[in-house]
């Protein structure tokens, strides 16, 4: 989408403006195109309206003042981008979006660290599926003398009494666990989002 640039009388103003808008663009590039356009156009509109209402102030002075009040794109947009990303992630169920939303929100509270750990489990389950295919004897759910001993991969030769009990079912179980964790994470994120709103 072509977004109109603001015409300035002075070349210096145009340069300051273009530099600021470039930084805005960089901050929001992880969002879907529509959200990017929306945020970009809103900042553009704000600067334009403020310039129009500057009165007798010199253009460059007014612009510097406006941009200072708007704040550094990185600081101002951090929360907005994190919010939008979370909104997108919980709407689409797309793992990549959820992962990005978690990374952006991880500094926003302890609960997101828990989400990240749950996500780590999810990837571990997926990793174990690949590992099972490559090393069927070393990967699985192992018991020793009737007790659960290990879920995962053993590098040592099996200890006496240690047996893998799931066989090929292991892959199905890991796949099921990954999907289950995935839905749990997304649902928890939705609940968390609705709690945030209250």
Partner 1 sequence: MYFVLYICFMNETFVANWKSQLKKGTLTFVILNVLKDNEYYGYELIEEIKKHTDMEVAEGTLYPILNRLKMDNLVDSKWVEQGTGIPRKYYSLTEVGMKTLAEMNAYWKTLVFDIEKIIK
Taking CB under 8 A as the criterion, the residue among 9, 10, 15, 42 binding partner 1 is: 42
Taking CB under 8 A as the criterion, the residue among 26, 46, 58, 135 binding partner 1 is: 46
Residues making up the chain, counted from first to last: 198
What does the block give as tokens for 156? Answer: 């040592």
Q: How far is CA 182 from the centre of its chain?
A: 15
- Which residues 159-198 are close enough to bind partner 1 by CB under 8 A? 197
Taking CB under 8 A as the criterion, the residue among 10, 18, 45, 94 binding partner 1 is: 45
Phi, psi of 131, deg, nearest 5: -60, -40
Residue 70 or 151 having the CB closest to partner 1: 70
What is d(CA 110, CA 107) in angstroms, rounded to the nearest whole number?
Answer: 8
Min dist. Cβ of residue 99 to partner 1 (A): 21
Min dist. Cβ of residue 28 to partner 1 (A): 12
Min dist. Cβ of residue 128 to partner 1 (A): 37
Q: Where are the beta strands (DSSP E) in the chain?
A: 139-144, 147-153, 162-164
> Contacts with partner 1: how many residues (CB under 8 A)?
26
SS3 track for 114-158:
HHHHHHHHHHHHHHHHHHHHHCCCCEEEEEECCEEEEEEECCCCC
Residue 2 is a binding residue for partner 1 (CB under 8 A): no
156 and 149 in contact (C-beta within 8 Å)?
no
- Which residues 53-112 are close enough to bind partner 1 by CB under 8 A? 53, 66, 69-71, 75-76, 79-80, 83-84, 87
Interface with partner 1 (CB under 8 A): 4, 6, 38-39, 41-46, 48-50, 53, 66, 69-71, 75-76, 79-80, 83-84, 87, 197
């Amino acid at each position: 989408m072509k977004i109109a640039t603001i015409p300035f009388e002075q070349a210096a103003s145009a340069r300051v403006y273009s530099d600021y808008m470039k930084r805005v663009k960089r901050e929001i590039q992880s969002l879907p195109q529509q959200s990017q356009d929306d945020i970009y156009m809103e900042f553009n509109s704000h600067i334009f309206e403020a310039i129009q209402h500057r009165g007798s102030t010199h253009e460059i002075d007014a612009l510097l003042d406006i941009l200072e009040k708007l704040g550094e794109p990185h600081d101002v947009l951090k929360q907005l981008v994190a919010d939008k990303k979370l909104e997108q992630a919980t709407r689409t169920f797309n793992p990549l979006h959820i992962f990005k939303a978690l990374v952006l929100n991880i500094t926003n509270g302890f609960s997101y660290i828990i989400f990240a750990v749950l996500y780590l489990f999810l990837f571990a389950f997926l990793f174990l599926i690949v590992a099972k295919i490559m090393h069927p004897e070393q990967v699985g759910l192992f018991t020793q003398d009737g007790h659960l001993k290990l879920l995962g991969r053993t590098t040592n030769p099996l200890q006496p009494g240690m047996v893998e009990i799931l066989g090929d079912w292991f892959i199905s179980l890991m796949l099921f666990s990954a999907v289950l964790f995935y839905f749990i994470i997304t649902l928890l994120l939705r609940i968390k989002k609705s709690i945030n709103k209250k």
